[in-house]
C-alpha cells in the first residue's frame, strides 16, 4: 500500500518560499530574502487565524447542511453559573458541548457529572487555560492537554475534541493531537463577550449574524460581578428563543461536524471521584 503524506499549508508554503529564494539567489540575490520574509510574517500571524488551518486542520463550521447550529461553552465548569445554565438548556431541550478546564473539573467534579448526566458533550480546553500556552514549549502544551485527558477519563469519558485557549494554535499542536487521536475545534460565531466580562446585548449580536452550520462560542463562567448572573442567563435564553424564531435548531456538536466529540470508557468507575 502506498503511503500518503498530508502536508500542512505551512509546510507547503515553507518549501515554496525556500525554493523561490534559492532560485532568486542565482538571478537577483538582493531579492532572495523577500519570499522567506513573507513566509515568516505569515507564520507569525497564522496562530491568530486558526480557521485558515495553516498549521493543522481546524474545524470551525459544521457540515450537516441543515437549518441547525451547535452551541459550545468554554472555560467552566463554575459552581454559580453552570448549574443554572444546565437548567436553562434542559428547559429548551438543548444539548451543548462544554470545553472544560481541567483544573476546574478537578475542583468541581459534581458539575462534570451533572453535565454528562444531562446528555451534554465535553471537550478538552487545557488544564489551566494559560492564554500564553501556545508560546511555550511543546512539552508544556502536551502536559496541559494530557493532564486534562487523564482527569476526564475518571468520569468515564475520553474527549476527542480540543479547543485551545482564546482559539490560538501553533505548529506543535498538530502532532500532539494526532498522537492522542484528537482534533481541534474552533468556532464560526461568537458574541465577543470576553469570557462573560461583556454580556450586554450579546444575544442581539449573535442572532444578527448566526447562520446554519455555525459553531457558536459562549462561556459558562460567572460575569465580572455575581449580581450580573441573572442578566447573563437572560441573554442566553434570548439566544435560544431567537434561534427558534430564526428556525435554526440546536444540534449536538458531533452531529454538526459529523464526527464524535468524545467517547465513553465502559469500565471506568465514578465511585472514586470526590
Active-site residues, by number, are 74, 219
Instruction: Name, in order, each residue with C-beta under 8 angstroms of 173's C-beta and a sequence gap of 6 or more.
Output: 55, 56, 134, 141, 164, 184
- Helices 82-91 and 229-245 cross at an angle (nearest 10°) of 30
Residues facing 185 on adjacent strands? 59
* Residue 184 in grid coordinates: 481541534
Residue 161: which of 113, 202, 124, 127 has the closest Cα?
124
**Axis-axis angle for helices 202-209, 229-245 (nearest 10):** 20
Rg (CA), the chain: 21
Closest CA to 126 of 147, 97, 155: 147
- H-helix or E-strand containing 56? none
For residue 99, which of 66, 117, 124, 62 has the smallest C-alpha distance? 124
Amino acid at each position: 500500500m502506498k503511503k500518503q503524506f498530508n502536508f500542512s499549508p505551512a509546510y507547503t508554503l515553507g518549501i515554496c518560499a525556500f525554493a523561490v529564494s534559492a532560485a532568486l539567489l542565482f538571478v537577483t540575490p538582493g531579492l532572495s530574502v523577500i519570499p522567506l520574509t513573507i513566509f515568516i510574517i505569515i507564520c507569525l500571524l497564522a496562530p491568530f487565524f486558526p480557521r485558515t488551518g495553516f498549521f493543522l486542520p481546524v474545524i470551525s463550521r459544521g457540515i450537516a447542511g441543515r437549518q441547525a447550529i451547535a452551541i459550545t461553552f468554554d472555560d467552566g465548569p463554575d459552581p454559580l453559573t453552570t448549574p443554572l445554565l444546565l437548567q436553562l438548556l434542559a428547559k429548551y431541550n438543548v444539548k451543548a458541548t462544554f470545553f472544560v478546564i481541567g483544573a476546574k473539573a478537578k475542583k468541581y467534579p459534581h458539575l462534570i457529572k451533572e453535565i454528562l448526566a444531562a446528555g451534554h458533550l465535553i471537550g478538552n480546553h487545557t488544564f489551566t487555560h494559560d492564554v500564553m500556552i501556545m508560546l511555550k514549549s511543546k512539552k508544556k502544551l502536551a502536559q496541559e492537554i494530557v493532564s486534562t485527558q487523564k482527569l476526564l477519563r475518571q468520569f468515564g469519558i475520553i474527549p476527542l475534541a480540543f479547543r485551545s485557549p482564546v482559539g490560538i494554535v501553533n505548529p506543535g499542536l498538530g502532532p500532539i493531537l494526532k498522537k492522542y487521536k484528537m482534533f481541534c475545534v474552533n468556532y464560526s460565531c461568537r458574541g465577543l463577550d470576553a469570557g462573560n466580562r461583556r454580556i450586554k446585548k450579546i444575544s442581539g449580536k449573535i442572532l444578527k449574524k448566526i447562520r446554519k452550520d455555525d459553531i457558536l462560542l459562549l462561556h459558562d463562567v460567572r460575569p465580572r460581578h455575581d449580581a450580573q448572573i441573572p442578566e447573563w442567563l437572560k441573554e442566553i435564553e434570548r439566544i435560544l428563543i431567537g434561534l427558534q424564531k430564526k428556525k435554526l435548531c440546536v444540534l449536538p456538536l458531533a452531529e454538526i461536524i459529523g464526527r464524535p466529540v468524545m467517547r465513553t470508557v465502559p469500565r471506568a468507575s465514578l465511585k472514586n471521584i470526590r
